[in-house]
Amino acid sequence: MSLRTTATRLGILAAGGALTALAAGGPAAALADANNHPPVYKGRVTAKSGLLLRDAPTRGSKVIRSEPYGKVVTIYCKTTGDHVGGNNLWYLLTDGTWAWGAAHYIANIGAAPRWC
């Protein structure tokens, strides 16, 4: 078998595996589309009084806006920052404006977000 035929077969197998993982709801990395866009992550705000969203993953940074309790938000990625309730993870949200919310107050819906 030629090198080109082998490479073609391997490419077809890899593409088929990615499609199978996508159809089966596989890992979030398999959910990226063909244009290599990152997958979409969702979360629900659990802060009873609403969640303050900030311009940096720190408690002292400027508040940009807030989201109400129970709101489903779109998460782009996660990073570490100030501890909130014993959790140092922060999520970068993409709803309206790009803003950081403490992961302590956002319950993941599905897979945990990727690292920024």
Count the residues in the chain: 116
Q: What is the structure's pLDDT at 33? A: 56
Tokens representing residue 40 in the block: 């979409």
**Residues 101, 103, 109, 113, CA torsion sign:** positive
State residue 102 phi and psi, 5-degree precision.
-65, 125
Low-confidence ranges of the chain (pLDDT < 70): 1-34
Q: What is the structure's pLDDT at 42? A: 97
Q: What is the structure's pLDDT at 21? A: 40
Q: What is the structure's pLDDT at 35? A: 74
Q: What is the structure's pLDDT at 36? A: 75
